[in-house]
Amino acid sequence: MDLFENSIIDLPPGGRLSYHPDWIEAVRADQLFERLSTDLPWKQRPIRLFGKEVMQPRLTSFHGDSGVSYRYSGKTLDAQPWSAELAELRRKLVDQLDCEFNSVLCNLYRDGRDSMGWHADDEKELGTNPVIASVSLGQSRRFRLKPRGEGEALSLDLVHGSLLVMAGDVQHHWLHELPKSSRPMGPRINLTFRSIA
């Protein structure tokens, strides 16, 4: 099922998904994309999948408050300092969502071959019901969710300058992915703001 723009969807049993396609106005979104593309220390990192180490099909950069680290897929990332642009976006999110974020995982998908498989942001250090605020810049990409177990998958195109917020118990009962695409695609930056204990 495709979700509509400006949707607020309840995801059972107690999750909520909200999507705001025009969260950043177009000119500013263009500026942010250009600045973050060139200024962040992007790296392709290895992860462990099914007992084997492989390179992630995307580039990443992790930023946050001093002393914050994030462990996932068998790797620990120590936060780099906030850039001016990332700090600006964090302030806007904190003001609008009335919730704190101490870090952001930045992903750069270079083309349609770069992707993120089915997963949940359910690491223990994210807390019981984490709020994940996901900002998209650049190429529109299809985002999918599915319930753990059986149930219909949901799809949404995340456009340039949009904000997607996952809250409640979404990470405990749902999985999400950014699938590969065979269509010609430009690069996309995804910024997932979170609070790590």
pLDDT at residue number 5: 58
pLDDT at residue number 150: 86
In degrees and rounded to multiples of 5, residue 96 shows phi and psi of -85, -35
Q: Are the CB atoms for 103 and 134 separated by under 8 Å?
A: no
pLDDT at residue number 52: 79
Q: Report residue 37 as tokens.
A: 């593309």
Measured CA to CA, the distance from residue 105 to residue 33 in angstroms comes to 15
- Closest to 153 measured CA to CA, from 161, 141, 145: 145
pTM above 0.85, yes or no: yes
Q: Which H helix or E strand runs over 85?
A: helix 84-97
Q: Where are the beta strands (DSSP E) in the chain?
A: 8-11, 15-20, 46-49, 52-55, 59-64, 69-72, 75-78, 103-109, 116-119, 132-138, 141-147, 154-158, 162-168, 174-178, 188-194
Measured CA to CA, the distance from residue 158 to residue 164 in angstroms comes to 8
How far, in Å, are 55, 62, 86 from residue 47 at the CA level?
Answer: 6, 15, 25
Please identify every stretch of the chain with a pLDDT value under 70, giving residue numbers as ranges: 1-6, 49
Q: Which residues pair with 1 in a beta bridge?
A: none
CB-based burial label for 140 (10 Å; 0-12, 13-18, 19+)? middle
pLDDT at residue number 43: 96
Q: Is 91 helix (H, G, I), strand (E, B) or coil?
A: helix
pLDDT in tens, 109-163: 999 999 999 999 999 999 999 999 999 999 999 999 999 988 899 999 999 999 9
